[in-house]
């Protein structure tokens, strides 16, 4: 199905998780261990990575949306929310708009992390065509890829084509105005993230007719993967769910 899931007992909400550019579902490994009973953590495997390494990574957003829409179809049978980090936030937002156009179930809430509001425009530097040494240096500077991975040729041979495809999507993205979403939006960010400003995060407010919240957490651009419990508690609070974890007993 192209999905990696962890199923707690009788979850009340499914959370579809979309990682940053070039990353796969294992990026949410720490989330699987920290997930509460009420939330079914469901990282989505995008083409070209991990279990779907044989599938070509799309280089345009419309092609990626078609692929993701097909693969999440079986997961829309119960209430769900979506969270996307960095470029994954853009994907989750556009997926919610596509589901609305198709008359499908809407997310109970959209969580967008570490990405400026889409109507504010690009400012994505032309990274996708950089020579491999320069692209590796940029990855090291951004601190989103372990240094040990960057020095392993086999891993980089797998990672770089997918990363280039994702970066090309972001660099060519042009926002198309539509009516705001009817689902609430929570925008998440790292307090020390130097790439995204507070006004750029608050800009997401205009993309919903429902409630909007801005939540900030300790850390930089990749805070999301380093503070899973804090972030999941905030998500559960915004969804009105319990934060009790598996096997926790009530005394």
Q: What's the pTM?
A: 0.88
The residues assigned a catalytic role are 86
What is the model's pLDDT at position 251?
35
**Residue 156 scores a pLDDT above 70:** yes
What is the model's pLDDT at position 149?
63
Residue spans of alpha helices (H) in the chain = 29-34, 61-72, 87-101, 132-142, 147-150, 153-172, 198-202, 223-226, 228-239
Fold for the domain defined by 13-120+176-239:
Rossmann fold (3.40.50)
13-55 pLDDT, tens digit per residue, is 999 999 998 888 888 988 888 778 889 999 999 999 888 988 9
């Amino acid at each position: 199905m192209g999905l990696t899931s962890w199923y707690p007992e009788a979850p009340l909400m499914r959370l579809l998780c979309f990682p940053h550019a070039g990353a796969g579902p294992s990026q949410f490994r720490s989330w699987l261990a920290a997930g509460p009973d009420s939330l079914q953590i469901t990282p989505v495997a995008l083409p070209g990575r991990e279990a779907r390494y044989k599938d070509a990574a799309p280089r345009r957003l419309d092609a990626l949306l078609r692929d993701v829409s097909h693969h999440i179809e079986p997961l829309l049978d119960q209430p769900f929310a979506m969270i996307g980090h960095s470029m994954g936030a853009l994907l989750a937002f556009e997926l919610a708009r596509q589901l609305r156009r198709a008359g499908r179930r809407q997310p109970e809430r959209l969580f967008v992390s570490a990405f400026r509001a889409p109507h504010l425009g690009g400012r994505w530097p032309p990274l996708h065509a950089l020579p491999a040494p320069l692209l590796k240096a940029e990855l090291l500077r951004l601190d989103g890829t372990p240094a040990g991975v960057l020095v392993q040729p086999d891993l980089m041979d797998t990672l770089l084509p997918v990363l280039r495809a994702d970066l090309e999507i972001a660099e060519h993205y042009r926002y198309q105005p539509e009516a705001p979403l009817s689902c609430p939006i929570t925008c998440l960010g790292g307090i020390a993230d130097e790439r995204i400003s507070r006004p750029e995060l608050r800009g997401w407010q205009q993309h919903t007719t429902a409630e909007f919240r801005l939540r900030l957490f300790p850390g930089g651009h990749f805070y999301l993967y380093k503070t899973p419990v804090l972030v999941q508690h905030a998500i559960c609070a915004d969804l009105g769910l319990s934060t009790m974890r598996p096997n926790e007993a009530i005394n």
